[in-house]
Structure 1
Amino acid sequence: MAERSAEWSVTAGMASADGDIDVDTEQTLTCLHMKMYHPHQHDKRIFSAINLCKRQEIKAEDVVLFGRDVNSCMFKLLHNKVSRMQFALQFFIPLNTSTMSFEIKNLSKKTKLFVDGLELNYLNKVELPQKCIIRFGEFQMLVEIEAGDSDDKFAINCEVSRYSLVQEIGHPVMIAIPENGTLIYQPSIILSTSPPVEVDENDA
Structure 2
Amino acid sequence: MERPLTILQVSLYHPTLGPTTFANVPSRLEHDTSPLLVGRALDAHLQLQLPRLSRQHLSLEPYLEKGGTRLAFNLKALSRKGCVWVNGLTLRFLEQVPLRAVNRVTFSGVQMVVHIEGGTSLEAFVCCFHLSPSPLIYRPQAEETDEWESIPQEQLPPGSGQPAPGHLGFLDSSPQPSPGGAPEIQLQREAPDSVLY
Aligned counterpart, 2:51: 80
CA contact (8 A) 1:65 1:87 kept: yes
Q: Over aligned residues, Cα RMSD in angstroms?
A: 2.0
Q: Is the counterpart of residue 35 in structure 1 residue 11 in structure 2? A: yes
CA distance in 1, matches of 2:160, 2:32: 37
Q: 1:48 aligns with which of 7, 23, 34?
A: 23
Cα gap change, 1:103 to 1:177, in 2 (>3 Å): closer
Structure-1-length-normalised TM-score:
0.68
Distance 1:96 1:88 in 2: 24
Match 1:169 to one of 155, 159, 172: 159
Other-structure match for 1:58 = 31
Alignment of structure 1 residues 6-21 onto 2, 5 Å? none
Letter in 1 for 2:13: Y
How far apart in 1 are the matches of 2:49 and 2:105?
18
User: What letter matches 2:11 in structure 1?
Assistant: K
Q: Distance in 1 between matches of 2:32 and 2:78?
A: 21
Counterpart residue type for residue 30 of structure 2? E
Q: Offset of 1:175 from its aligned partner? A: 7.0
- Unmatched 5+ stretches in structure 2: 139-157, 162-181, 192-197
Aligned-partner Cα distance in 1 for 2:123–2:92: 30
Residues 179, 96 of structure 1: alpha-carbon distance in 2 compared, 3 angstrom cutoff? farther
Give the one of 156, 170, 177 matched to 2:127.
156
Cα shift at 1:170: 7.6
- For residues 17-55 of structure 1, what are the alpha-carbon distances to aligned partners after superposition, in whole Å with 9 as ceiling and x for unaligned? xxxxxxxx22100011100000123x2110001112xx2
Give deviations 1:150-184, integer Å, cap 9, x for gaps. Answer: 1111111111111111132388576735259xxxx
TM-score by length of 2: 0.71
Residue 75 of structure 2 is matched in structure 1 by 104
Q: 5+ residue gaps in structure 1?
A: 1-24, 181-204
Cα-to-partner distance string for 1:78-121 (whole Å, 9 max, x where unaligned): 11111111101111111122232111110011111111101111
Identity %: 27
Counterparts of 2:190 and 2:22 in 1: how far apart (Å)?
31
Equivalent-residue separation in structure 1 for 2:111 and 2:16 (angstroms): 12
Counterpart of 2:19, as a letter, is K
Structure 1 counterpart of 2:102: 131
Measured at CA, do residues 80 and 177 of structure 1 come closer, stay the same or move farther in structure 2, by a change above 3 Å? same
